[in-house]
Amino acid sequence: MGFNYERGVGEMLENFGHRTESLLAQAYGDAPPGHAWDRFCAYDAAAPGRAGCGNVHFAPNSVRDYDWGNRTPVWSTCDAWPRYPAPAGERRQVDCREWGGGDIRAHHRWWLGHLPRAVGRHDGHLANWWTYAVDVNVAR
């Protein structure tokens, strides 16, 4: 993975976010549907009423790619993910004010900031998803 230094920091964070998405999708590839990574990436347009943190292109309330400035509130479990695997039942309404009102860097920092980072394993996967993102050799 490398960054294009002709682009901005927001695009660098997006590249890193896509790397993270790819590695976690691979790590959870054999898991049954509805696993933790699926729930984390859920956004309201694709999973009404069950938004997690969305993904690099879709915030929890996005209706199209790069819709990070959407002010429509949706219910999300985003606050629970940094404490994963603690129960993720809590939900609250969120909108773009949570992730910078449309700013690419702010959204990606918000999204990355919600990646779980607990010790140990849960359901056969590392509970610290940063390991998948930054230390692939350890994450086997």
The partner residues of 51 in beta bridges, in order of sequence, read 76
The pLDDT of residue 9 is above 80? yes
Q: At 89, give phi and psi (nearest 5°).
A: -75, -20
Task: Give yes or no for residue 32 having a pLDDT over 70.
Answer: yes
- Beta strand 92-94 with 117-122: parallel, antiparallel or unpaired? unpaired
Share of the chain above pLDDT 90, in %: 83
Q: Are 70 and 63 in contact (CB under 8 A)?
A: yes
How far is it, in rounded angstroms, from Cα 7 to Cα 15? 11
The predicted-structure confidence for 46-98, as pLDDT tens digits, reads as follows 999 999 999 999 999 999 999 999 999 999 999 999 999 987 678 999 999 99
Instruction: Please state whether the predicted TM-score (pTM) of the whole model is above 0.75.
Output: yes
Helix, strand, or coil (residue 19) = helix
- pLDDT at residue 54, as a whole number: 98
Give me the helix-helix angle, 9-27 and 104-113, nearest 10°. Answer: 30
Alpha helices in 34-103 (DSSP H): 36-41
Tell me how far apart the alpha carbons of residues 4 and 112 are, in angstroms, rounded to a whole number: 20
Question: Which sequence spans correspond to the domains of the chain?
Answer: 9-134
Q: What are phi and psi of 50, to 5 degrees?
A: -125, 30
Which residue, chain included where needed, has tokens 């699926």? 38
Please state the separation of Cα 58 from the chain's center in Å.
9
Residue 92 pairs in a beta bridge with 76
Residue 3 has pLDDT above 80, yes or no: no
